[in-house]
Amino acid sequence: MATDYYAVLGVSRDASDDEIKQAYRKMARKYHPDIAGPEYQEKFQEINKAYEILSDPEKKRMVDQGIDPEDPQASAGFGGFSQGGYGSFADIFDDLGGMFGGFGGRSRGPQPRVQPGSDVLADLRIPLKVAVFGGVQEVQSRTYITCPTCHGNGSADGSQPVTCSVCKGTGFQQKVTRVLMTQMMTQVECSNCHGFGTVIPNPCTQCGGSGRVADEHVEKVNVPAGVQDGTRMRVAGRGNVGLGGGQPGDLYIDIHVAADKQFVRVGNDLHCWVSVPMVWAALGHEVTLSTFDGPQNVELKPGTQPEEEIRVKGLGAGILNSPGERGDVVAHVQVKVPKKLNSAQREALEAFDKASKSDKPEQFARPSKGRDRGLFDHLKNMFTGE
């Protein structure tokens, strides 16, 4: 069973990045083996791993989709993740804000209430035609927006935050901790103001003082012509608004191009298969191809062989970052051989057979250029007199 990384950190599945980070820092301080004791080594590693997963947008996305990023088979193709968490004894005490009594260290000031927002990742599924021509599409996403009630201030009455009475504005408290049989003074986040150094006396009832609220909305984005399946688009400033109404992050959109019933895209070309009667292939004929630009009449040359290509220039997919340029439509010919013949058809083919008695079956690994191409060349000669 996959690990529930949200449960490890004690947060809900819709927790913000800031809430996940805050929960991790509290648990990491509590369970670090150099503070809580060596018996908590495994617990600390579990907390570290949970934060590493949930602080990485790609890994978090996999978790939300029910995929365990630690499963090599399930996470194949999701390489290049950043590493998170605390790596050493020194790392965690540096985050604690330093310590007094032999380790050096430094003091840390309060956190600003206005903080930059995080990025958001969304998915967009489009038909092949949109990938060919581009166009405006709608993307549904869930982001944090500035609270419409307090406008990011966090206060119900518009008042400004006041200095925390517990930490006196420093954002942290001093705590006596027993480490390796020694009592040491450490700095921990203030339990009253949560590290801000100030408190909001009358918090906004809609956002709880955070200055932002969750919002489900539809974003209209311009998909460029020629976009490929798996492309990631960036829309600047449309991600999560930060705490206190801070500058928003960006919205990233993963493009998924749906399979099409008529075409398969290869590069910028659109490939299709067209089935024609064998007489058309032998004698030549006009064929109508259905394209995204409408019906196109093309010539089937006399003696066309199975799997020959008919190429229509400039009607394929748009070429990304090259306005006005497009690939081609490539039609692969399939020749239909009738399974049942009426009397007239049988007589005609028997006459053809008599005229072809000198033909001998040939067996070879691969047709070579210039070799007799068989049935369709004979049919062409018979009916055209060539």
**Residue 279 phi/psi, 5° resolution?**
-65, -40
Q: Which residues have CB under 8 Å from 243's CB, separation 6+?
A: 18, 113, 114, 115, 210, 211, 212
Q: Which two tokens stand for residue 297?
A: 């009449």
Q: Which residues have CB under 8 Å from 161's CB, separation 6+?
A: 113, 154, 155, 196, 198, 199, 200
d(Cα 363, Cα 376) in Å, to the nearest integer? Answer: 17
Q: Which two tokens stand for residue 261?
A: 């019933």
CA distances from 28 to 45, 94, 183 (A): 9, 12, 19
CA distances from 319 to 173, 226, 271, 323 (A): 59, 5, 16, 7
The verdict on whether residue 167 carries a ligand-binding annotation is yes
The verdict on whether residue 164 carries a ligand-binding annotation is yes
The verdict on whether residue 272 carries a ligand-binding annotation is no
Q: Which residues pair with 295 in a beta bridge?
A: 290
Which residue type occupies 314?
G
Q: What is the dihedral of CA 348, 349, 353, 354, to 10 degrees?
A: -20
Residues within the annotated binding site for Zn(2+)? Answer: 147, 150, 164, 167, 190, 193, 204, 207
Residues within the annotated binding site? Answer: 147, 150, 164, 167, 190, 193, 204, 207
